Amino acid sequence: MSEEGHCEKLVGSLYQLLDGEVTEDQVEFLQEHLEECGACLERLGVEMHFTLLVRSRCRDDQDCPDQVLLNIKEALQAEITA
């Protein structure tokens, strides 16, 4: 698989990785790729920061404004279809 193909596979699994929803084989693949690809490692860092920020601000015991949820959903959908 080309380097670009590996990057596309990683991006497709990024949110699953952050949510702990990947298999051991997927984790191994992702770790190996991240060791070799600085661009994906940087992107993972950004996504991790974003995910932690959203989780800290939008907990079950707090109301999240509807517009914030809509903005997040639209951003994620745009990322998926890009």
Predicted confidence band of residue 1 (pLDDT cuts 50, 70, 90) = very low
Domain boundaries along the sequence of the chain: 3-81
Phi-psi category of residue 64: left, alpha or beta, with phi > 0 → left and psi -120 to 50 → alpha: beta
Distance CA 6, CA 21 (A): 19
Taking the whole predicted model, whether its pTM rises above 0.85 is answered as no
More confident residue, 51 or 9: 51
Percentage above 70 pLDDT, the chain: 88
- Secondary structure of the chain in the HEC alphabet? CCHHHHHHHHHHHHHHHHCCCCCHHHHHHHHHHHHHCHHHHHHHHHHHHHHHHHHHHCCCCCCCCHHHHHHHHHHHHHHHHC
